[in-house]
Amino acid sequence: MADKQDKPLLVDIAARAGVSLATVDRVINRRKGVAQRTRHRVLEAARAVGYLGADEAASIGAVRRLNIAVLLPAGMNPYLRLLGDRVRDRVGRSGPSDPVLRCYFIESFDAGVLAQGLRKCAAWADGIAFFAIEHPEVRAAAAEVAARHTRLVTIVSNLGERSGVAHVGLDNHAVGRSGGWLVGRLAGRREGSVALVAGSRNYRAHSDREAGFLSAIDEMFPALRLIGLREGHDDAGENYRHTKALLEQEPELVGIYNVGGSSSGIARALREQGRDDVVFVGHGLTADTRQALLDGTMDAVFDQDPDVLIDRAIQTLSQPEAPPNPLKLDIICKENLP
Query: Tens digit of pLDDT for each residue in 193-245?
Result: 999 999 998 899 999 999 999 999 999 999 999 998 999 999 999 999 999 99
Give the pLDDT confidence score for residue 5 in this predicted structure. 53
Q: What percent of the chain has pLDDT over 90?
A: 66
- pLDDT at residue 61 is higher than 70: no
- pLDDT at residue 140 is higher than 70: yes
User: Strand runs (DSSP E) across 43-188, as ranges?
Assistant: 67-73, 100-106, 127-130, 151-155, 166-168
Give the pLDDT confidence score for residue 4 in this predicted structure. 45
CA distance 175 to 189: 22
Which of these ranges, 52-61, 66-75, 80-89, 290-299, has the smallest mean pLDDT? 52-61
Higher-confidence residue of 321 and 298: namely 298
CA distance 210 to 208: 5
- pLDDT at residue 2 is higher than 60: no
CA 179 vs CA 77, 176, 215, 293: distances in Å: 20, 5, 11, 16
- pLDDT at residue 325 is higher than 80: no
pLDDT range class, residue 3, cuts 50, 70, 90: very low
Give the pLDDT confidence score for residue 333 in this predicted structure. 97
Mean of the per-residue pLDDT values of the chain: 90
Give the pLDDT confidence score for residue 63 in this predicted structure. 60
**Overall pTM > 0.75:** yes
Contacts of 164 (CB under 8 A, 6+ apart): 143, 146
CA distance 185 to 320: 41
Mean pLDDT throughout 320-335? 86
Which of these ranges, 4-8, 95-99, 154-158, 264-268, has the smallest mean pLDDT? 4-8
Structural domains in the chain, sorted by start: 10-61 (1.10.260), 67-169+306-327 (3.40.50.2300), 172-303 (3.40.50.2300)
Which of these ranges, 36-40, 41-45, 118-122, has the smallest mean pLDDT? 36-40
CA distance 70 to 85: 12
Give the pLDDT confidence score for residue 95 in this predicted structure. 77
pLDDT digits (tens, 9 = 90+) for 113-132: 999 999 999 999 999 999 99
What DSSP state is assigned to residue 222?
T
Helix-helix angle 10-17:21-28, to 10 degrees: 110
Contact 208/238 with Cβ under 8 angstroms?
no
pLDDT digits (tens, 9 = 90+) for 267-306: 999 999 999 999 999 999 999 999 999 999 999 999 999 9
CA atoms within 13 A on the CB side of 80: 28
- How far is the first Cα of the chain from the last one, in angstroms, to the nearest whole number? 73
- pLDDT at residue 175 is higher than 70: yes
